[in-house]
Amino acid sequence: MSWQRLFGEAARHHGCVTPAMAERAGVGARALGQRAWREAWPAPFPAVWRCPGHDETPVGLAAAAVLAAGDQALAAGWTAAWLWEAVRQLPTPLEILVPHSQRSRAHRKLRTLRTRTLQPDERTVVAGIPSTTLARTCSDLSGRLERPFLRALIIDGRQRGQLTLDEVAKAAARRRPARGSAMLLQLCHELDADRCDSMLEHGVRRALAEAGYPPPARAPVTVPTAHGAVQVDIPWPQLRIGIETDGFGAHSDRAHLHRDQQRHNALLLDGWQVLRLGWWRFETDWHGFLGELAALFGQRAGARAAR
Protein backbone atom coordinates (compact mmCIF):
# COMPACT_ATOMS: atom_id res chain seq x y z
CA MET A 1 0.00 0.00 0.00
CA SER A 2 2.89 2.37 0.70
CA TRP A 3 4.19 2.13 -2.86
CA GLN A 4 0.66 2.61 -4.18
CA ARG A 5 0.33 5.79 -2.12
CA LEU A 6 3.67 7.00 -3.43
CA PHE A 7 2.78 6.31 -7.05
CA GLY A 8 -0.56 8.06 -6.55
CA GLU A 9 1.26 11.08 -5.16
CA ALA A 10 3.69 10.96 -8.10
CA ALA A 11 0.79 11.04 -10.56
CA ARG A 12 -0.29 14.37 -9.02
CA HIS A 13 3.23 15.69 -9.71
CA HIS A 14 3.42 14.61 -13.35
CA GLY A 15 5.15 11.33 -12.46
CA CYS A 16 7.90 12.83 -10.29
CA VAL A 17 8.89 11.57 -6.82
CA THR A 18 11.34 12.77 -4.18
CA PRO A 19 12.69 11.31 -0.92
CA ALA A 20 10.42 13.63 1.07
CA MET A 21 7.38 12.28 -0.80
CA ALA A 22 8.56 8.71 -0.12
CA GLU A 23 8.86 9.41 3.61
CA ARG A 24 5.34 10.83 3.73
CA ALA A 25 3.99 7.78 1.89
CA GLY A 26 5.68 5.39 4.33
CA VAL A 27 8.15 3.98 1.78
CA GLY A 28 11.30 5.62 3.07
CA ALA A 29 13.92 7.63 1.21
CA ARG A 30 16.47 4.80 1.14
CA ALA A 31 14.00 2.28 -0.28
CA LEU A 32 13.04 4.79 -2.99
CA GLY A 33 16.65 5.42 -3.96
CA GLN A 34 17.44 1.70 -4.10
CA ARG A 35 14.46 0.88 -6.29
CA ALA A 36 15.08 3.87 -8.58
CA TRP A 37 18.72 2.75 -9.03
CA ARG A 38 17.81 -0.91 -9.52
CA GLU A 39 15.11 -0.19 -12.12
CA ALA A 40 17.02 2.70 -13.74
CA TRP A 41 14.35 5.33 -13.22
CA PRO A 42 15.18 8.57 -15.04
CA ALA A 43 16.36 11.38 -12.75
CA PRO A 44 15.84 14.79 -14.42
CA PHE A 45 17.37 16.46 -11.33
CA PRO A 46 19.30 15.16 -8.30
CA ALA A 47 17.00 13.30 -5.88
CA VAL A 48 14.03 13.66 -8.23
CA TRP A 49 13.00 10.55 -10.18
CA ARG A 50 10.36 9.95 -12.83
CA CYS A 51 8.27 6.88 -12.07
CA PRO A 52 7.69 4.10 -14.61
CA GLY A 53 4.70 4.71 -16.85
CA HIS A 54 5.27 8.47 -17.13
CA ASP A 55 6.86 9.85 -20.28
CA GLU A 56 9.17 12.85 -20.26
CA THR A 57 7.14 15.98 -21.01
CA PRO A 58 7.87 19.72 -20.72
CA VAL A 59 5.35 20.12 -17.89
CA GLY A 60 6.89 17.10 -16.14
CA LEU A 61 10.32 18.69 -16.42
CA ALA A 62 8.98 21.92 -14.91
CA ALA A 63 7.41 19.94 -12.06
CA ALA A 64 10.71 18.13 -11.42
CA ALA A 65 12.60 21.43 -11.35
CA VAL A 66 10.32 22.87 -8.67
CA LEU A 67 10.54 19.69 -6.59
CA ALA A 68 14.34 19.73 -6.86
CA ALA A 69 14.51 23.26 -5.46
CA GLY A 70 12.69 22.50 -2.20
CA ASP A 71 9.32 22.84 -0.51
CA GLN A 72 9.17 26.64 -0.78
CA ALA A 73 10.19 26.77 -4.45
CA LEU A 74 7.94 28.12 -7.19
CA ALA A 75 8.13 28.14 -10.95
CA ALA A 76 8.94 31.73 -11.84
CA GLY A 77 10.10 34.06 -14.60
CA TRP A 78 9.96 32.51 -18.06
CA THR A 79 9.02 29.11 -16.65
CA ALA A 80 5.94 30.55 -14.97
CA ALA A 81 5.13 32.54 -18.13
CA TRP A 82 5.17 29.26 -20.06
CA LEU A 83 2.88 27.58 -17.51
CA TRP A 84 0.48 30.53 -17.90
CA GLU A 85 0.65 29.95 -21.70
CA ALA A 86 2.09 33.42 -22.27
CA VAL A 87 5.01 31.94 -24.26
CA ARG A 88 4.97 28.89 -26.50
CA GLN A 89 8.13 27.00 -25.54
CA LEU A 90 9.47 25.96 -22.17
CA PRO A 91 12.63 28.05 -21.69
CA THR A 92 16.08 26.78 -20.83
CA PRO A 93 17.34 27.03 -18.16
CA LEU A 94 14.23 26.59 -16.06
CA GLU A 95 13.65 29.49 -13.66
CA ILE A 96 12.76 28.79 -10.03
CA LEU A 97 12.01 31.27 -7.24
CA VAL A 98 13.05 30.50 -3.64
CA PRO A 99 13.18 32.52 -0.40
CA HIS A 100 16.38 34.55 -0.12
CA SER A 101 17.53 32.57 2.91
CA GLN A 102 17.05 29.15 1.32
CA ARG A 103 20.09 27.31 0.07
CA SER A 104 19.78 25.43 -3.20
CA ARG A 105 22.05 23.19 -5.20
CA ALA A 106 23.33 24.61 -8.49
CA HIS A 107 22.32 22.77 -11.66
CA ARG A 108 23.00 23.56 -15.30
CA LYS A 109 19.30 23.23 -16.19
CA LEU A 110 18.16 25.56 -13.40
CA ARG A 111 18.35 29.28 -12.81
CA THR A 112 17.52 30.04 -9.20
CA LEU A 113 15.97 33.43 -8.43
CA ARG A 114 15.86 34.64 -4.82
CA THR A 115 13.33 36.95 -3.24
CA ARG A 116 12.62 38.81 -0.02
CA THR A 117 9.37 40.34 -1.28
CA LEU A 118 7.15 37.37 -2.21
CA GLN A 119 3.73 37.60 -0.53
CA PRO A 120 1.28 34.72 0.12
CA ASP A 121 -1.16 36.10 -2.47
CA GLU A 122 1.56 35.85 -5.12
CA ARG A 123 1.76 32.06 -4.79
CA THR A 124 -0.55 29.78 -6.77
CA VAL A 125 -0.68 26.44 -8.57
CA VAL A 126 -0.72 26.18 -12.36
CA ALA A 127 -1.10 22.78 -14.08
CA GLY A 128 -0.44 21.15 -10.71
CA ILE A 129 2.86 23.01 -10.23
CA PRO A 130 3.52 25.62 -7.53
CA SER A 131 4.09 28.89 -9.36
CA THR A 132 4.09 32.64 -9.05
CA THR A 133 0.88 34.36 -10.05
CA LEU A 134 0.88 35.92 -13.50
CA ALA A 135 0.94 39.39 -11.92
CA ARG A 136 4.08 38.50 -9.96
CA THR A 137 5.53 36.87 -13.08
CA CYS A 138 5.06 40.12 -15.00
CA SER A 139 6.83 41.96 -12.18
CA ASP A 140 9.74 39.50 -12.14
CA LEU A 141 10.15 39.77 -15.92
CA SER A 142 9.70 43.55 -16.13
CA GLY A 143 13.43 44.22 -15.89
CA ARG A 144 14.15 41.88 -18.80
CA LEU A 145 11.31 42.63 -21.22
CA GLU A 146 10.89 45.38 -23.76
CA ARG A 147 7.92 47.64 -23.12
CA PRO A 148 5.65 46.43 -26.01
CA PHE A 149 6.07 42.76 -25.02
CA LEU A 150 5.34 43.52 -21.37
CA ARG A 151 2.23 45.50 -22.35
CA ALA A 152 1.04 42.61 -24.51
CA LEU A 153 1.64 40.16 -21.65
CA ILE A 154 -0.51 42.22 -19.29
CA ILE A 155 -3.31 42.77 -21.80
CA ASP A 156 -3.39 39.09 -22.74
CA GLY A 157 -3.55 38.14 -19.06
CA ARG A 158 -6.46 40.52 -18.51
CA GLN A 159 -8.34 39.08 -21.47
CA ARG A 160 -7.90 35.56 -20.09
CA GLY A 161 -8.98 36.66 -16.60
CA GLN A 162 -5.59 35.66 -15.16
CA LEU A 163 -4.68 39.02 -13.62
CA THR A 164 -5.91 42.51 -12.87
CA LEU A 165 -4.07 45.80 -13.21
CA ASP A 166 -4.35 46.25 -9.46
CA GLU A 167 -2.55 42.95 -8.87
CA VAL A 168 0.23 43.90 -11.30
CA ALA A 169 0.64 47.34 -9.72
CA LYS A 170 0.88 45.81 -6.23
CA ALA A 171 3.51 43.32 -7.41
CA ALA A 172 5.52 46.11 -9.05
CA ALA A 173 5.30 48.32 -5.96
CA ARG A 174 6.59 45.51 -3.73
CA ARG A 175 9.72 45.16 -5.87
CA ARG A 176 10.56 48.87 -6.04
CA PRO A 177 13.17 50.13 -6.76
CA ALA A 178 14.13 46.95 -8.63
CA ARG A 179 14.81 47.31 -12.34
CA GLY A 180 11.63 47.44 -14.42
CA SER A 181 9.25 48.14 -11.53
CA ALA A 182 8.83 51.82 -12.42
CA MET A 183 8.09 50.98 -16.07
CA LEU A 184 5.57 48.35 -14.99
CA LEU A 185 3.75 50.81 -12.74
CA GLN A 186 3.64 53.34 -15.58
CA LEU A 187 2.19 50.71 -17.93
CA CYS A 188 -0.53 49.93 -15.38
CA HIS A 189 -1.49 53.60 -15.23
CA GLU A 190 -1.53 53.88 -19.04
CA LEU A 191 -3.65 50.76 -19.52
CA ASP A 192 -6.04 51.88 -16.81
CA ALA A 193 -6.43 55.24 -18.57
CA ASP A 194 -6.87 53.62 -22.00
CA ARG A 195 -9.27 51.00 -20.59
CA CYS A 196 -8.28 48.63 -23.38
CA ASP A 197 -8.52 44.87 -22.90
CA SER A 198 -7.36 44.08 -26.43
CA MET A 199 -3.83 44.58 -27.75
CA LEU A 200 -5.27 45.38 -31.16
CA GLU A 201 -7.73 47.87 -29.69
CA HIS A 202 -4.89 49.52 -27.78
CA GLY A 203 -2.80 49.87 -30.94
CA VAL A 204 -5.71 51.23 -33.00
CA ARG A 205 -6.55 53.87 -30.39
CA ARG A 206 -2.93 55.04 -30.33
CA ALA A 207 -2.74 55.12 -34.12
CA LEU A 208 -5.99 57.11 -34.36
CA ALA A 209 -4.59 59.71 -31.97
CA GLU A 210 -1.40 59.95 -34.04
CA ALA A 211 -3.52 60.41 -37.19
CA GLY A 212 -5.30 63.38 -35.60
CA TYR A 213 -8.78 61.85 -35.28
CA PRO A 214 -11.12 63.17 -32.61
CA PRO A 215 -10.80 60.98 -29.52
CA PRO A 216 -13.40 58.21 -29.29
CA ALA A 217 -15.07 57.29 -26.02
CA ARG A 218 -12.45 56.10 -23.55
CA ALA A 219 -14.06 52.69 -23.20
CA PRO A 220 -16.27 50.45 -25.34
CA VAL A 221 -19.95 51.33 -25.20
CA THR A 222 -22.87 48.95 -24.97
CA VAL A 223 -25.65 49.70 -27.45
CA PRO A 224 -29.15 48.40 -26.63
CA THR A 225 -30.70 47.09 -29.84
CA ALA A 226 -33.82 45.18 -30.77
CA HIS A 227 -31.67 42.02 -30.79
CA GLY A 228 -30.07 42.63 -27.38
CA ALA A 229 -27.12 44.62 -26.06
CA VAL A 230 -24.17 44.95 -28.46
CA GLN A 231 -20.75 46.33 -27.55
CA VAL A 232 -18.77 48.65 -29.84
CA ASP A 233 -15.01 48.51 -29.17
CA ILE A 234 -13.97 51.99 -30.33
CA PRO A 235 -17.05 54.25 -30.50
CA TRP A 236 -17.93 57.85 -31.32
CA PRO A 237 -21.40 57.73 -29.75
CA GLN A 238 -22.55 61.19 -30.88
CA LEU A 239 -21.91 60.27 -34.53
CA ARG A 240 -23.00 56.62 -34.05
CA ILE A 241 -19.73 55.54 -35.67
CA GLY A 242 -17.50 52.79 -34.35
CA ILE A 243 -14.65 50.39 -35.05
CA GLU A 244 -14.85 46.72 -34.19
CA THR A 245 -11.40 45.16 -33.63
CA ASP A 246 -11.09 41.53 -34.66
CA GLY A 247 -8.13 40.04 -32.80
CA PHE A 248 -6.58 36.66 -33.50
CA GLY A 249 -9.30 34.90 -31.54
CA ALA A 250 -12.20 36.37 -33.54
CA HIS A 251 -14.47 34.00 -35.49
CA SER A 252 -12.82 30.93 -33.96
CA ASP A 253 -15.79 28.80 -34.98
CA ARG A 254 -19.05 28.95 -36.91
CA ALA A 255 -21.11 29.86 -33.82
CA HIS A 256 -18.88 32.88 -33.13
CA LEU A 257 -19.15 34.00 -36.75
CA HIS A 258 -22.95 33.69 -36.65
CA ARG A 259 -23.20 35.76 -33.46
CA ASP A 260 -20.89 38.44 -34.90
CA GLN A 261 -23.06 38.72 -38.01
CA GLN A 262 -26.17 39.15 -35.86
CA ARG A 263 -24.47 41.81 -33.76
CA HIS A 264 -23.24 43.72 -36.80
CA ASN A 265 -26.68 43.69 -38.43
CA ALA A 266 -28.33 44.79 -35.18
CA LEU A 267 -26.05 47.83 -35.03
CA LEU A 268 -26.86 48.77 -38.64
CA LEU A 269 -30.58 48.56 -37.92
CA ASP A 270 -30.07 50.81 -34.91
CA GLY A 271 -28.40 53.49 -37.04
CA TRP A 272 -24.77 52.72 -36.27
CA GLN A 273 -22.01 52.43 -38.89
CA VAL A 274 -19.25 50.14 -37.65
CA LEU A 275 -16.09 49.32 -39.60
CA ARG A 276 -14.27 46.03 -38.96
CA LEU A 277 -10.49 45.92 -38.56
CA GLY A 278 -8.15 42.97 -37.96
CA TRP A 279 -4.44 42.61 -37.33
CA TRP A 280 -3.44 41.99 -40.94
CA ARG A 281 -5.13 45.15 -42.23
CA PHE A 282 -3.92 47.22 -39.29
CA GLU A 283 -0.31 46.25 -39.98
CA THR A 284 -0.35 46.30 -43.80
CA ASP A 285 -3.11 48.70 -44.93
CA TRP A 286 -3.68 51.17 -42.12
CA HIS A 287 -3.78 54.13 -44.50
CA GLY A 288 -6.41 52.41 -46.63
CA PHE A 289 -8.54 51.83 -43.55
CA LEU A 290 -8.12 55.48 -42.54
CA GLY A 291 -9.50 56.45 -45.96
CA GLU A 292 -12.63 54.40 -45.29
CA LEU A 293 -12.98 55.91 -41.82
CA ALA A 294 -12.57 59.43 -43.22
CA ALA A 295 -15.30 58.73 -45.78
CA LEU A 296 -17.59 57.50 -43.01
CA PHE A 297 -16.91 60.62 -40.92
CA GLY A 298 -17.63 62.74 -44.01
CA GLN A 299 -20.93 60.99 -44.64
CA ARG A 300 -22.08 61.45 -41.07
CA ALA A 301 -20.97 65.09 -40.99
CA GLY A 302 -22.86 65.76 -44.24
CA ALA A 303 -25.98 64.06 -42.92
CA ARG A 304 -25.90 66.14 -39.74
CA ALA A 305 -25.42 69.36 -41.74
CA ALA A 306 -28.39 68.47 -43.99
CA ARG A 307 -30.69 68.31 -40.98
Q: What is the pLDDT of residues 166-213, one digit of tens each?
A: 899 999 998 888 889 999 999 888 887 766 667 788 889 999 999 999
Domain with CATH 3.40.960.10 in the chain: 211-306
Pairing type for strands 241-246 and 273-278 reads parallel
Cα–Cα distances (Å) from 125 to 48, 67, 189, 234, in that order, read: 19, 13, 28, 36
d(CA 30, CA 107): 23
**Do the Cβ atoms of 70 and 20 come closer than 8 Å?**
no
- pLDDT for 195: 65
Closest CA to 127 of 163, 87, 85, 97: 85
For all residues of the chain together, what is the average pLDDT?
86
Q: How confident is the model at residue 158 (pLDDT cuts 50, 70, 90)?
A: confident
> Which tens digits make up the pLDDT trace of 296-305?
999 887 776 6
Q: Which residues pair with 228 in a beta bridge?
A: 225
d(CA 72, CA 39): 30
pLDDT at 134 over 50: yes
The structural architecture, per CATH, of the domain 211-306 is 3-Layer(aba) Sandwich (3.40)
> Which tens digits make up the pLDDT trace of 52-82?
989 889 999 999 999 998 888 999 999 999 9
Q: How confident is the model at residue 155 (pLDDT cuts 50, 70, 90)?
A: confident
Classify the C-alpha dihedral 231-232-236-238 as positive or negative.
negative
d(CA 11, CA 54): 8
**Do the Cβ atoms of 111 and 77 come closer than 8 Å?**
yes
